Amino acid sequence: MTDSGMRDGPPLEIEVKLRLPGLEDLPPRLESLGFQLETPLQDETSTLWDRGAELFDQGCALRVRRYGGGATLTWKGPKRADPLLKIRPELETAVADAEILEGILKVLGYAPVMRMVKQRAVYRRGGLVACLDRAPFGCFLELEGSEKDILEARASLGLSGAEVEVRGYPGLFRAYGLA
């Protein structure tokens, strides 16, 4: 989610991840709030790349994601301190050929350091994105957009008391021994 232009630095991703007991009741609730299904539930494979621990040591990540019939390359910068939201710089672009991109990364000295597979459905309402994720260790709703839109959607969905998961998926995959 962009909240600043490149002239001021990379755009910021602003999101909250909520741990839920299940996802079954969320699609109709999201649709009743004006969200539209963008990508139905399907496998998503994300691979993190690094040179040793160069990016990890800086609090950054470089990810190749395969999802919805396409692929993206994403750089994520260090997280900003916030008790509820995950806020960090992010640059992302679509990739025409993930295999060639991964070959380029290898030539540049990067290596795959973690592979994560989960299921994801994506809903959108204007600038607010809702991702329904089913991972090997639980179900999650991610809301990404402006802080105001995220907090309003969370309240409208009746999830104000839902457990906020501050760890990203790499941390969760590690914590559950899946990476």
Supply 118's token pair: 């989960």
The 10s digit of each residue's pLDDT in 119-155 is: 999 999 999 999 999 999 999 999 999 999 999 999 9
The pTM assigned to this predicted structure is 0.91
Q: Give 175's strand partners.
A: none
Yes or no: is domain 12-175 CATH 3.40.950.10? no
| Residue 172: C-alpha distances to residues 29, 102, 112 (Å) | 27, 24, 18
CA-to-CA distance for 114 and 4, rounded, in angstroms?
Answer: 30
The 10s digit of each residue's pLDDT in 164-179 is: 998 999 999 999 999 7
Do residues 78 and 61 touch, judged by C-beta distance below 8 A? no
